[in-house]
Amino acid sequence: MNDAIRPGIGATVLGYPRIGPDRELKHAIEDYWAGRAGRAELEATAARLRHDTWAELAGLDSIPGNTFSYYDQVLDTAVLFGAVPDRYAALGLDDLDTYFALARGNDRVAPLELTKWFDTNYHYLVPELGPDTALRLAGDKPLAEYAEARAAGVETRPVLIGPVTFLRLAKPAPGAPSGFTPLDLLDPLLDAYAELLRRLAAAGAAWVQLDEPAFVTDSSEAELAALRRAYDRLSALPERPGLLVAGYFGDLGEALPVLADTAVEAVALDLVTAPRQVAGAPGLRGKTVVAGVVDGRNVWRTDLDRALSRSATLLGLARDVAVSTSCSLLHVPYDVEAEPDLPETVRPRLAFARQKLDEVAWLQRALLTGRPPGPPRMRPVPDRDGRVRARIAALRPEHRTRVPYAERAAAQQARLRLPDLATTTIGSFPQTREIRRARAAYRDGSLDGAAYTERMREEIARVIRLQEDLGLDVLVHGEPERSDMVQYFAELLDGFAATANGWVQSYGTRCVRPPILHGDVSRPRPMTVPWTVYAQSLTDRPVKGMLTGPVTILAWSFVRDDQPLADTAAQVALALRDEISDLERAGIRIVQVDEPALRELLPPRSAGHAAYLDWSVGAFRLATAGAAAATQIHTHLCYSEFGDVIDAIDGLDADVTTVEAARSHMEILEDLAATGFSRGIGPGVYDIHAPRVPPAPEIRALVDLAAKTVPGPRLWVNPDCGLKTRTYEEVEPALRNMVEAARESRPGSPHQR
């Protein structure tokens, strides 16, 4: 399309939530999986949600399309371009069930690896590519959704993962030859993208958005060269839509001048996270800059005066300036107006996805025509608690230090007397419909406090009996009272507000309601002690107290933006320190403080890693260092690429660290060993995100593999994550097989003679 007739971009967003305001997509997919609904019903729900989204976005000048997904946009890209490993194609399933097999596995095959989407709490499925992967345009999803929108009278801008980011996110397939990298497949992948762009242009698409967030991380010369080659090639196509290349979650750095030097028409920049990144790219003068000045990842109202000023400074640097969100709104809830019970001191400070659309539209009008009527109000300042701040000011280095590990290990073994290859779980047990109904009834007042407590105690007693029957060595109470591992604590801590309908997709059908951390944090009363003490009263085996760590509470909340994260983390850590102290006084011998999000907040570029790891590790140690030597501190880390934080795992100084390892085949253990890590380690021996029950020999093979690196007294045997999302029909046989595998692998067992 000729630039003279191609419409400008104007007010836009880079993406939008897709689960539905009431999680309609989650329920429809899970009904399909359970056989309660057929494909036609699922597709009807999906179509309705797409049309509802287009209607929501009708006030924008440019509407993103192809943002819908049944599970994950990276998986969609892999399927679109034929990157389906043979083991899934060999299942003989139709296209939809093959897609879900890739995502969650089945009784014949494990799913693809799952990991974090940059520094967010969204998870993506990692594509597997080998030299024999025949990349091609194998599907038509972007074309079909563009045509569907156009038939409804809506012109959309199809959104795709960019080709180089897709390859950077992929991993070499098992068995790929040494030296192969997914970037070796760039040319055939560009052929497929070129065909798709030609077909979209023929269908009438004026713009296509290609997301390249991998370039806000450190990039090699080869990766930058691949970026240049990709967009030189795609922008040279004679018949194509305009190309908008989007970078978000940080500073594009050296990738920005590369893009500026190509013939792409527009570049989207995250000016919330990296407001100064345009200074080094004079080539933007001939392009549209899509200014991401409205925060797509947090829920605070935009300072519209500051955002307008930031956008206006670009007018002399670019051909055209369009106002947008910093990233997709996938990461925030739908609508503040759906939250009737938020405190009135907090509500005026908030903007969810629908409110951010209004902010973007206001800013675009103000940029083009001057300030519209009704100047924006100033955001209220959070309340401050002098007692909390005085306590933070009084902290000293010794508040973050325990006695040496060797001394602790001896005291803990004398107290606990655990066997080699001790077995445990990560914390949660299945959340049955009965449990969820009881919690809902308690919240709406139809079940009083005494009846609710009794119902939860019944569930705890059942879980304790089950674990004893299975033969686990260290037990948990199962967390029936917790709907979410962060929200539960947020509702009991001062300084937080909880939403009723603020759902955000984490992965697939897993949705969370991140709490809103709006003020100084303190603990008015014990949070977990009564439940844990009751569970311990039912058994002679040790029961772990279960807490969520300070970094994860921050990572999985919407956090105040008026002070450094390090200060807020220290406040949360002190509240947890008090909870550990109360658990100890109540006789609890093991406390687990989970930090699955430790890597999640890691800055995209390595230059920021040291400062982040200093305060994040320090927050964990502040929470746990008050524990006595004989109290065993556990932590859990999951679904991250651990390489960047491998030294920090040691720095946490936990007595036992459990980690996701089943999908990655124990890769982390050699890395930990290379750092000199010498504390307890529990690599996950089966993947709880897949519905299959792993047989005991399969688990034992992983245990034996781990034992080659970690000696038995330090090696624990556990699943790779909590069991909340699984059913008891899956959990009981899987744990029984796990215990059997551990016993067979212990020194002195008949299998070891």
| DSSP per-residue string spanning 232-272 | HHHHT-SS--EEEEE--SS--TTHHHHHHTS--SEEEEETT
pLDDT of residue 369: 87
Distance from C-alpha of 752 to C-alpha of 743, rounded to nearest angstrom: 10
> CB of 173 within 8 A of CB of 133?
yes
User: Which pTM was predicted?
Assistant: 0.90
Least confident of 84-93, 320-329, 597-606, 660-669: 660-669
Buried b / exposed e along 692-701 (16+ C-beta atoms within 10 A): bbbebeebbe
Paired sense of beta strands 128-129 and 114-116, if any: unpaired
Which of 456, 464, 461 has its CA nearest to residue 483? 456
624 plus 675 within the same structural domain: yes
Given the residues 477, 634, 689, 751, select the one marked as catalytic. Answer: 689
- Counting residues of the chain whose pLDDT is more than 70, the rounded percentage is 96
Which of 525, 545, 527, 526 has its CA nearest to residue 535? 545
Residue listed under structure tokens 């690599």 = 683
Average pLDDT, the chain: 93
Query: What number is the average pLDDT over the span 243-264?
Result: 96
531 plus 653 within the same structural domain: yes
528 plus 637 within the same structural domain: yes
> CB of 231 within 8 A of CB of 243?
yes
Query: What number is the average pLDDT over the span 491-516?
Result: 95
Long-range contacts of the stretch 35-43 (C-beta < 8 A, 24+):
39/96
Residue 639 pLDDT grade (very low, low, confident, very high; cuts 50, 70, 90)? low
pLDDT of residue 660: 84
640 plus 742 within the same structural domain: yes
> CB of 272 within 8 A of CB of 326?
yes
Residue with the bigger pLDDT between 598 and 530: it is 530
Residue 505 located in a structural domain? yes
Residue listed under structure tokens 């105690």 = 457
Which of 193, 194, 208 has its CA nearest to residue 241? 208
426 plus 477 within the same structural domain: yes
Residue listed under structure tokens 């927050």 = 619
342 plus 442 within the same structural domain: no
Is pLDDT of 282 > 60?
yes
Residue 692 pLDDT grade (very low, low, confident, very high; cuts 50, 70, 90)? confident
683 plus 549 within the same structural domain: yes
250 plus 321 within the same structural domain: yes
pLDDT of residue 379: 59
Q: What is the pLDDT of residues 25-56, one digit of tens each?
A: 999 999 999 999 999 999 999 999 999 999 99
Residue 607 located in a structural domain? yes
CATH of the domain at 308: 3.20.20.210
pLDDT of residue 748: 72
pLDDT of residue 365: 94
* Helix (H/G/I), strand (E/B), else coil: 292: strand
Long-range contacts of the stretch 433-437 (C-beta < 8 A, 24+):
435/459, 435/480, 436/483
Residue 11 pLDDT grade (very low, low, confident, very high; cuts 50, 70, 90)? very high
Residue with the bigger pLDDT between 383 and 447: it is 447
119 plus 261 within the same structural domain: yes
* Helix (H/G/I), strand (E/B), else coil: 535: helix
216 plus 358 within the same structural domain: yes
Residue 684 located in a structural domain? yes
Q: Which two tokens stand for residue 176?
A: 């790929």
Is pLDDT of 112 > 90?
yes
Domain count, the chain: 2
Paired sense of beta strands 544-548 and 590-594, if any: parallel
Q: Which two tokens stand for residue 329?
A: 């709104």
Residue 399 located in a structural domain? no
Kindly give, in sequence order, each residue whose CB lies less than 8 Å from that of residue 397, ignoring residues fewer than 6 positions away: none
Question: Where among 352, 369, 386 does a domain terminate?
Answer: 369
Query: What number is the average pLDDT over the span 609-616?
Result: 95
CB neighbourhood size of 580 (10 A): 23
**How many Å separate Cα 101 from the centre of its chain?**
21
Give the helix, strand, coil percentages of the chain, each rounded to 5. Answer: 45, 15, 40
3-state secondary structure 172-220: ECCCCCCCCCHHHHHHHHHHHHHHHHHHHHHHCCCEEEEECHHHHCCCC
Distance from C-alpha of 602 to C-alpha of 543, rounded to nearest angstrom: 32
Residue with the bigger pLDDT between 479 and 116: it is 479
Residue 378 pLDDT grade (very low, low, confident, very high; cuts 50, 70, 90)? low
> CB of 635 within 8 A of CB of 654?
yes
Query: What number is the average pLDDT over the span 589-611?
Result: 92
Is pLDDT of 608 > 80?
yes
Q: Which domain holds residue 157?
A: 24-369
Query: What number is the average pLDDT over the span 674-688?
Result: 88
496 plus 566 within the same structural domain: yes
Instruction: Look up 399 and say whether it is catalytic.
Output: no
Distance from C-alpha of 570 to C-alpha of 215, rounded to nearest angstrom: 31
Residue 694 located in a structural domain? yes
Paired sense of beta strands 656-659 and 266-270, if any: unpaired
Residue with the bigger pLDDT between 662 and 182: it is 182
> CB of 135 within 8 A of CB of 182?
no
The enclosing H or E element of 10 equals none
pLDDT of residue 670: 79
Which of 275, 273, 266, 218 has its CA nearest to residue 248? 273
Distance from C-alpha of 723 to C-alpha of 191, rounded to nearest angstrom: 43
Distance from C-alpha of 129 to C-alpha of 176, rounded to nearest angstrom: 8
Kindly give, in sequence order, each residue whose CB lies less than 8 Å from that of residue 70, ignoring residues fewer than 6 positions away: 25, 29, 46, 96, 99, 100
Is pLDDT of 463 > 70?
yes
Residue 371 pLDDT grade (very low, low, confident, very high; cuts 50, 70, 90)? confident
Which of 171, 276, 272, 273 has its CA nearest to residue 217? 273
Is pLDDT of 375 > 80?
no
CB neighbourhood size of 336 (10 A): 21
Q: What is the pLDDT of residues 564-575, one digit of tens each?
A: 999 999 999 999
Residue listed under structure tokens 């999803």 = 141
Query: What number is the average pLDDT over the span 238-267?
Result: 96
Is pLDDT of 642 > 80?
no
Residue with the bigger pLDDT between 600 and 740: it is 740
Residue 398 located in a structural domain? no
Residue 34 located in a structural domain? yes
Residue with the bigger pLDDT between 340 and 146: it is 146
Residue 12 located in a structural domain? no
625 plus 674 within the same structural domain: yes
Question: Where among 369, 392, 426 does a domain terminate?
Answer: 369
Q: What is the pLDDT of residues 195-218, one digit of tens each?
A: 999 999 999 999 999 999 999 999
Is pLDDT of 335 > 60?
yes
